[in-house]
Every structure is written in C-alpha cells, then in structure tokens.
Structure 1
Amino acid sequence: MPSPARSSRTYSRLGPAGLVAALALVASGPFTPRPAAAQTPVAVPPDAPARYHPLPSVRAQAEEMQGWVEARVERVLPALMAEYDVDMWILSMREYGEDPVFWSIISPTTFAARRRSIYIFTRQDDGSVERLALGGSSQGGLFEIYRSARPAPTGEQAELWGNEQWRLLNEVVSDRDPGNIVLNIDDTWAFADGLASGEREALEEALGEKY
C-alpha cells in the first residue's frame, strides 16, 4: 500500500511507513552488530569445571536498554516518518492488551500499559518528532506526559482516563491538524497490526469525521 498523501484528511491504514517503523523499532538498536569471528571447535573434557560469565547488574542492563529505546525514538523513528511522509502516528492500547510496538518504545522498567495508553508522534518542520503520552509515564523522559485536570486523593493531578483521554486526543490532533495519520492496522504483518478493534472504534469516534 502506498504511503498516505499529505493532502489527505483521513487517517491511513498502516502502509509501508508503519510496517517499516514497527519492524525497525522492534529490531533495531543504536549499534550495528559485528559478525562473530570464526572459532576452532574445542573438545571440553566431561570433568572440566563450569565456567561462569557474569552479566551486568539488572540496573546496568536497564540503563543500556534505555539507551537503545532513546536511539529508536530520536534517530530511527524521525527518519522513517520523513521517508514515508507521515505527519502523525497514533498508538492506542489498554493494559495487558498492548500493541506489539509498545515493548520497543518504553522504558525497560515498565511492566505494562497503564489502563489506557495513547502515544502520539508528530513530525515537526525541523525533522524532529514530538512525542506525547496521554496516560502512563514519560518512559524515562522519552515522552511529554499529559495529566488530568482532576486532583488525585494525594493532592497531585490524577491520571487521564476514559472520556477525558479521548477529548484531549481530539484537542491535540485538531491543534496540530496533520495532513495524514497512520494507525497500526495491517492484514499481513503481525507487528504492524496492534490496534484492537474496540480501540479503533473509540479512536474514530474521538477524532470525528474530519480525520
């Protein structure tokens, strides 16, 4: 399917842009792996003592993985959105029903989506991508999060939830007025087909006929 035209005012199914983005975000890291050097087979005596190769601490592993995620959203994603002329990419999912791409754009310390998590990626004129989260956390500072106007029992702002999220989504999209919107819907690639039918219906209702 061709990438969506900028003059379009309707959202697009996930074409090559979303497919490549989904696969690249899942698989790519900030570094290009080097091929392993060939090794001569060595026979290990059955009574040889076990050798242990210590791994970095879990905290150190999380820090390195966070760097991979940062590289994906700051380097890989902007290039893909520019290549396929995508103005806006929206991911919407509920807790324990996450989009496959979710696991490649979140902090390694995140367990699951928070109730409902909506992520909005908008391409800017300078080539960068604005990253907003309507619900959930900032994923280690990778997203600008929006909170509810309602106070929480602790005195802080409460999380966005329910119709409040959809109303805010409409405001955000209308304010940026993208020429096209890409959603994760695909009948071939599983990684590119993460938008649940219920989420799609709610998203369509929230955006209205204009988009």
Structure 2
Amino acid sequence: MRGWGAVLLTVAALGAPVAAARAVQSNADAEVLGPKLPPIPTPREEARIRDQLLTERVKTILPRLMREQGIDAWVLSAREYADDVVMKSFFAGEQMTARRQTILLIVDPGAGQPLETHSIARYKVGDIFKPAWQPESKVGQFDRLAAMLRGRNVRRIAINVSPDNAFADGLSKGQHDAMMAAFGPELAARTVSSSPLVTRWLETRTPAELKRQGEVVRITHAILGEMYSRKVITPGRTSADDARWWLRERIAGLGLGTWFSPSISIFRNGSKELDGDAVIQPGDLLHVDFGVTLYGLNSDVQHLAYVLRPGEREAPAGLRAGLRQANRMQALLLDALPGSASGNGALVKVRAAMAREGIDGTVYSHPLGLHGHGAGPAIGFWDDQAPSPRGAAGIYPNTGWSIELQATAAVPEWGGQKVPFRLEENGWWDGRAFHWFDGHQQAFHLIPGDPAR
C-alpha cells in the first residue's frame, strides 16, 4: 500500500538486499500541499512512544541483525559529554546523555533465546538494560565487563571502532585503552569492529517506526505549507532570512526539534541565486531545505514555491516544465532501486537513464531515520556523481530514504536562463517497492503576489 497508514514487514526483511521488482510512480503519489498540521505530542507522550519504539527494536530487530553479522556480544561505552552516537540510539525517551561512565553490554546467548541486555553504570539506563554492577563493590566497571564476558561463551565481541564509518567510531581512545587493559590479550583478540552491525541497526525500521516517521513528514509538509503562504511571506517585504527564521521559531514553538538549520533560496529572472537579506518579489521561484526531529526520527524535505505576479494564476510554463523534469528524475531513481545491489549500483543505473532521456541533473540521495544523513549507502553526492566507497553498501528492506536530487532546465520565459529544480522527499523501501511517506511534490506552492492581499 502507498503511504504509511498500512506498513508491513515483508519476507525480504529477513535480511536479503533488494530483489528484482519495479518501483512505480503515479499521480496517486502526489502530495497534498499545505496539509493540516497533525497533533503534536507532549514531551511526556513523546518519551512514552520513544520507549515503545526502542523496546520493539531491541526485541525484534537486534537479535536478527546480531546473528546476521555473526556477533555474540556488543559493547558500547561512553562518558558524560563524550557520547557515542550509537549508544544514544539505545537511550530511553527521558535520557539525553551518558552519565559519568556508562557501559552497555548486549549478549546473544544463542539457541534462539532472547538477548541479554546489561548496564554497567552508576545510574539506571532505562528499563531495557538491567543493572549489572554495584559501585560499592570497588570492582572497576571495565573489570566487571571483562568478567561478564569471560563467563559467557562469546567468540566475536563488537566494539565501536571504525576507520571509515563515523557512526561506528564512538569509542574514544581513552575508553578503548582502558577496555583493552581490562580484557587482556585473550578477550582483546575476540574484538571486532561493530561497523556492519551499526549500519544495519541504525538503518532498519520497524513497522511502528515507519508509521511514526510518516507522521514526522506530514508535520514537516504542514509547516512548509504555512511558510509558503501570505501568513508568513509578503512579497516586497519578507526576506529569505525572515522566512527561514520563521521556520526555526515555528518548530521551537511547537516543541519540535531539528537536526540542521533550514535554508531558503530565491531564483529570479536575470539574477543569480539569492538568499539572506534578499527580499522576495512577485515572479520569484523559492526553494527551501527543512527538516524536523520527533520520536528520535528525522525528516529532510525540499520544496519549491512560485510567487505569482498580479494577474497570474499559475507559474510560467517553463518553470512547470522544470518541475516535471525533476519529478521524472525521481521516477527514474525509484526505477533504479529494484535489482540494485548497492547505492553505487542505483546511481549508475539512474545516471544512464538520465543520459538516455537527455536530462541534466544530479542525484544525491541518502538513508534517513534516526539521523538525517543516516547510516547506509549514499546514492551520489551533489559534488560527485561517480560511484564512491560510501555508496558501496547494500540496499536493504525496511529502510528509510531521502530522495534528493536536482534537475537543471532552461526557462524560456527567463531568456533561457538555467535554473536548478531541487526536490527532496522521504519514503521507505520494502525490498520490492518504494513508498512515499506523504506523497511527493508535483506542483508548486503558489503565493499570491498582489500587495493588496
């Protein structure tokens, strides 16, 4: 089913990369511009939902992924103000950081048994991790960790060190040295990089998470609809920065978070790209890049708007054609996903399809979920359209994606001026088909330019 209202894990979720299928777009995928803002949860309700999501993830996703990667135990360690990015993905809704020294130990006892989840810390770490250390014992935390590992039949111990995966490199040098000293040569020899496991853990979504992320995207679309209106933008008076800071103030007022500061650009006949204190005028094409954080999940959306000149009812035909070109690129990228073993594979296929159709543009799409620029394979970069090491990872089922790209098109009404039509929309891949969370933009937001309004 399209959308996020009925989300199902597929058989492909057992861990296989993409299977051959066809990703189809139609007008049914068109986004409703400016939808009504959904209810925003209170901080207390959000924390409750985050705890539910985390409990389901640990019970249903983590055992499968540890076995998929051949990991018997996973150790995460961090100190206050020196957090490990992956450890934070295990924190309860009310916990914001590691406290003093925090060590988490996750053990797969095998034989299909539930995972053991332990905390070796002075303070409680939610309800999932059971305290396994008494500070009064005078036994050091790393010594306690080593003793617990020696008492279990663990062959491969994953630790968060990696030369090339930022998500899996959260164990500091000091922490690593102290851990290895407590482990001794025998246990230290069993340690391996957690990198493949970290990527799979961070990129994989449960059905409940996909539903909640759909809510986050709908909220994002609703806020953008407000911003792209005369409620916020008065042509001839409102600057790009005025609108940009309205977005920051709006999400703060709603109690929402964001993972980057939004940007707004202005494209105008006969002018280079404008931003900052440039004032929005009738006839302008506006571009925004904006994201929201809620439930520990992120959105990342780019929308286009046109400011009508007096007497206009729609954007000029050349601008509408540019938007259709960007929509065509979206369709070509989704068609490239089935059968692609990696992000690089999808990039090569979509670039070839663009060349066949004579489309000038760039593709720079990325995983999306617990992080805005999430763990997993990139599909191109805005400044590099060649296959890269960061695009070599597999494309797996039940992963969230930000389909980000731009088509460059000449606008006849602007004297043939070339304009980038930048779009970014969010959805998920089930192993056979791609589903938009809340549709995707196929028409401009239209802002009346008549000063009398």
Normalised to the residue count of structure 2, the TM-score between the two structures is 0.33
Amino acid at match of 1:38: A
Letter in 2 for 1:117: T
Q: Which runs of 4+ in 1 moved over 4 A?
A: none
Do the aligned partners of 1:133 and 1:145 also contact (CA within 8 Å) in 2? yes
* Aligned residue type for 2:111: D
State the match for 2:68 in structure 1.
Answer: 83
Distance apart, 1:73 and its partner CA: 1.4
Does 2:78 correspond to 1:93? yes
Pairing 1:189–2:181 present: no
Deviations 1:178-203 (A, max 9, x none): 11111111111110111111111000
Q: Which residue of 2 aligns with 1:38?
A: 30
Q: Structure 1 CA distance, aligned partners of 2:32 and 2:74?
A: 49
Shift of 1:111: 2.2
Is this contact kept in 1: 2:73–2:156, CA < 8 A? yes
SS at the partner of 1:176?
A: coil
Structure 2 distance, partners of 1:39, 1:92, is: 43
| In structure 2, C-alpha distance between the alignment counterparts of 1:125 and 1:190, rounded to whole Å | 29
Question: Structure 1: how far apart are the matches of 2:33 and 2:102?
Answer: 50
Task: Determine which of 70, 73, 93 is the counterpart of 2:58.
Answer: 73
User: Paired residues, what number?
Assistant: 163
Contact 1:117–1:136 under 8 Å retained in 2: yes
- Distance in 2 (CA, whole Å) between partners of 1:40 and 1:92 is 45
Q: Could you tell me how far 1:114 is from its partner in structure 2?
A: 1.4
RMSD in angstroms over aligned alpha carbons? 2.7
Residue 180 to residue 57, structure 1, CA distance change in 2 (3 Å) = same
Q: C-alpha displacement at 1:72, in angstroms?
A: 1.8
Percent of aligned pairs with the same residue? 28
Structure scoring higher RCO (CA < 8 A, sep ≥ 6) equals 1
Does the C-alpha gap of structure 1 residues 149 and 200 become closer, same or farther in structure 2, counting only changes over 3 Å?
closer
Q: Relative to structure 1, is the Cα distance of residues 147 and 40 closer, same or farther in structure 2, using a 3 angstrom cutoff?
A: closer
Question: 1:84 & 1:55 partners in 2: Cα distance?
Answer: 38
Instruction: Give yes or no for contact 1:113–1:136 (8 Å, CA) kept in 2.
Output: no
Equivalent position SS for 1:92: strand
Counterpart in 1 of 2:174?
198
Query: Mapping of 1:77-156 within 5 angstroms?
Result: 77-127=62-112, 128-148=114-134, 150=136
Distance 1:39 1:170, change over 3 A: closer
3-state SS, counterpart of residue 117 of structure 1: strand
- Check conservation: 2:83, 2:170, Cα contact below 8 A: yes
Indicate the SS of the match to 1:182. Answer: strand
Offset at residue 209 of structure 1 (A): 1.2
* TM-score, reference length from structure 1: 0.69
The CA distance in 1 between the partners of 2:160 and 2:146, in whole Å, is 18
Which consecutive residues of structure 2, in runs of 5 or more, have no partner in the other structure?
Answer: 1-6, 10-24, 188-453
Measure, in 1, the Cα distance between the counterparts of 2:97 and 2:43.
Answer: 18
Report deviation, 1:105. Answer: 0.6
